[in-house]
Amino acid sequence: EFVADEGEAEAVATKLWEALHSAEGVNKEKKPDVVLLKNAVLMGGKEEEDAVAKLVDVKVDPMLKRRGGNAFACATQEEEPDVHSKAAMAKARLDAKAEAKRQAAKLEHERQMLAMEEELEEARRSVAMSRIAGDAAGEISVVESECFDLPNPGGGENLLEDANIRLVSGHRYGLIGRNGKGKSTLLRWIAARRVKGFPSLMSMHYVAQEIPLAAINEGLHPVDMVLKADIERELLLERQKKLEKDAMSEGSSHESALKLAEVVERLMAIDADGSEGRARAMLVSLGFSEELLSRPMKALSGGWRVRVALAAALFAKPDILLLDEPTNHLSIDGVLWLQRTLATSTVWKSRIVVVVSHDRMFLDAVCTDMLHISGIARRLTHHKGNYNEYEERRKEMQATYAKSAELREKRREKLLEYTRRQGRAYTLSGTIAAKMMRVKMIDKLDAEAEKEEDEFAFLEEDQELELSIKGGGLLPLPIARFYTVSFAYPDCKPLFQGVEMCIDAKSRVCLLGENGVGKTTLVKILMNLLEPTTGVVERDLGARIALVNQHHADQIDLNLTPLHWMHSQFPGDGSYQHEQELRKQLAQCGVTSELQTTRASCLSGGQRSRVALAAVSYTKPHLLIMDEPTNNLDIESVDALSQAVLNFDGGVVLVSHDQTFVSAVANEVWVLGGGVLKKEESFEAYRKKIMKQLKE
């Protein structure tokens, strides 16, 4: 209950206090030692804080106030906190320190990214000025850097050592490798020109996974940001304005008139007048509505800012385009548009593109070459062809090495057996020499084995541990059935109307649609977190529903080990048997016994994701709802998750833009848009329809 008057608020609080003490068995004379109001929000400043504290005769823990004031620890003034309170306070201090450290790291990362973007823009401006002046004649077709190291930003061993890279104009490179092995770091180093060999006269644009917003750009609109990226156009317009002003003044020279004519001719050549229309069309292709186009940058979410940065990079047409997971914030339609643009546009047939992506189908459609980072060998290798061709060659190489190892082992065993059998028979010098020769042959085989084992390990490192998510099994009734469901937020037009849908324990449903059309709202109605405006949803109230999204691993306490965190979520009876159950659950999700006792802060993002999935699996849900679950995963982890979902003994509803994941998992595809939820024939049929529309 919300009240505006302070006296009325005190009256309500008094009633609550009396109601609490009127319960049977409660000592009315003694106030509780500790009261914890979880998720209470401080609505004002110190005055409101003091009023609340006085009202219930408590003190506000200053430590919690430092953490942001989202809870009260309430204790009487006279009593010292007990052991449990001290432990809780100690844990809270550790949590606060960890959170402060994370926030400091985040701010430092944003500072570095902003500084890098400023450097990049300055470099692009320098290139544009040189080209306008005619100093950058001719095109550079090859960029090459040899014997460079790539340091680990977090310290420790280098990510790459004595690495070589050769990039050729007209080629589009897919940069692949396990998470944490240096893909994003390599892109940042190339963008910052810390990798030698990248000429200063080559323009470069880098689009990161997250885009910090500089204060100078907060008031700009998306179209303005895209136009701003074409620095050559901006400089020419500035020069045109200055020359026109000079031409109108007395004493303007014939030379100034000629320069103005040259600038106007250059602007016509790049179709400067049509730039705004092209920028707007590009943003619309990436999912922007007229309403979003009218917002300033500071009013856009991080995902939409990344789309603006992507549009700006494409609009600028740099010599080298660096994209780090560019599809993460796009819809399927946006992914297909970007895919076609990079693969078929004449612009990118004379430029260099390097892209990191976890979507196999995107890499297959876009890339002409693959660059693989090996975490074990700490080296960068080049492979011709798209991802599918790379994968086939890798499997062939694995088979070749395995066969070679098998033959070598058989030969070694024969030599050892012959030596053992004839061991005591060697008495003459000739036979001793023969024995020594066989020993040397065995040593040579061992040396070959060691060398090939390194190569084999390099090939095997990308293989992912299996993942198993336990389901609750089949149910006799549908989990949820929608009857002409519609939903509208207050004073807004309906997000969708007339939704008819049935979800059961065998469903494998994918929801597609642009951001903001209502997919998340529909999922919330399915989870009974929202009620429809009109229509009815029949639910099986006994069905357990679990949600997995791109941030599901963030719930894990980084100060705990996976095993301790599972204990905190599922205390059980504290028995040895219960602990073994938790260990087994973690193991089934690919969290090895060693990782189970490693602090979560030392685990990779993919490993923490597996821990979070183990918690989901432990509840054995009947319905698994997955909202963009692949965004922070690498290719191998996506494959493992796909297989786990296929084997899941329950229903699945997913929201995803990952073509490979959707194609592998979904047998029903529903598209939400224009207020209507429509069922498609299949995901492949929908892809073909969108690709056909893009060609028209």
List, for residues 529-564, the tens digit of each pLDDT value.
999 999 999 999 999 999 998 778 888 888 899 999
Q: How far apart are CA 111 and CA 116, in angstroms?
A: 9
Q: Specify whether the CB–CB gap between 366 and 342 falls below 8 A.
A: yes
Give CA 251 to chain center in angstroms: 60
Q: Specify whether the CB–CB gap between 350 and 318 falls below 8 A.
A: no
Q: How confident is the model at residue 1 (pLDDT cuts 50, 70, 90)?
A: very low
Q: How confident is the model at residue 363 (pLDDT cuts 50, 70, 90)?
A: very high
CB atoms within 10 A of CB 406: 10
Each residue of 432-448: pLDDT tens digit?
Answer: 667 677 777 877 878 77
Q: What is the pLDDT of residue 367?
A: 97
Closest CA to 413 of 449, 389, 383, 364: 449
The torsion angle over the Cα atoms of residues 496, 497, 498 and 503, rounded to 10 degrees, is 30
Query: Strands of 379-384's sheet, edge to edge?
Result: 204-207, 320-324, 352-356, 172-176, 369-374, 379-384
Q: Please, what sign has the CA dihedral across residues 640, 643, 647, 652?
A: positive
The encoded tokens of residue 54 equal 């006085």
Closest CA to 334 of 345, 342, 346: 342
Burial 161-174 (b: 16+ CB within 10 A, else e): eebebebebebbbb
Q: Which residue has the tokens 């929608």?
A: 482
Give CA 658 to chain center in angstroms: 12
Burial 559-568 (b: 16+ CB within 10 A, else e): ebbbbbbbbe
The encoded tokens of residue 199 equal 């000429």
CATH number of 480-695: 3.40.50.300
**Mean pLDDT for the stretch of residues 85-99:** 73
Q: How confident is the model at residue 454 (pLDDT cuts 50, 70, 90)?
A: low
Give the CA distances from residue 220 to residues 121, 187, 199, 419, 570, in Å, rounded to whole numbers and listed in that order.
17, 27, 31, 81, 49
Q: Is 254 exposed, middle or buried (0-12, 13-18, 19+ CB in 10 A)?
A: exposed
Q: Name the pairing type of β-strands 676-680 and 352-356.
A: unpaired
Q: How far apart are CA 617 and CA 460, in angstroms?
A: 28
Q: Specify whether the CB–CB gap between 670 and 509 falls below 8 A.
A: yes
Each residue of 492-523: pLDDT tens digit?
Answer: 999 999 999 999 999 999 999 998 899 999 99
CB atoms within 10 A of CB 302: 12
Q: Which residue has the tokens 């939903």?
A: 487
pLDDT beyond 90 at 16 = no
Query: Strands of 676-680's sheet, edge to edge?
Result: 545-549, 623-627, 651-655, 508-512, 668-673, 676-680
pLDDT beyond 60 at 137 = no
Q: How far apart are CA 604 and CA 182, in angstroms?
A: 13
List % helix, strand, coil for the chain (3-state, nearest 5).
50, 15, 35
Q: How far apart are CA 153 and CA 108, in angstroms?
A: 12
Q: Specify whether the CB–CB gap between 33 and 75 falls below 8 A.
A: yes
CB atoms within 10 A of CB 660: 22
pLDDT beyond 90 at 596 = yes
Each residue of 178-222: pLDDT tens digit?
Answer: 888 899 999 999 988 889 888 878 888 999 888 878 887 889 999
pLDDT beyond 50 at 648 = yes
**Mean pLDDT for the stretch of residues 247-265:** 74
Between residues 210 and 598, which one has the greater pLDDT?
Answer: 598
Q: How far apart are CA 404 and CA 448, in angstroms?
A: 10
- Residue boundaries of the structural domains of the chain: 6-79, 401-460, 480-695
Q: How far apart are CA 532 and CA 181, in angstroms?
A: 46
Q: How far apart are CA 284 and CA 223, in angstroms?
A: 10
Q: How far apart are CA 314 and CA 341, in angstroms?
A: 9
Q: Is 184 exposed, middle or buried (0-12, 13-18, 19+ CB in 10 A)?
A: middle
Give me the amino acid identity at 306: V
Give the up-direction half-sphere exposure of residue 345: CA atoms within 13 A in the CB hemisphere: 17
Which pTM value belongs to this model? 0.76
Q: Please, what sign has the CA dihedral across residues 621, 624, 629, 634?
A: positive
Q: What is the pLDDT of residue 14?
A: 61
Q: How far apart are CA 491 and CA 508, in angstroms?
A: 34
User: In three state form, how does the secondary structure of 248-314 look?
Assistant: HCCCCCHHHHHHHHHHHHHHHHCCHHHHHHHHHHHHHHCCCCHHHHCCCHHHCCHHHHHHHHHHHHH
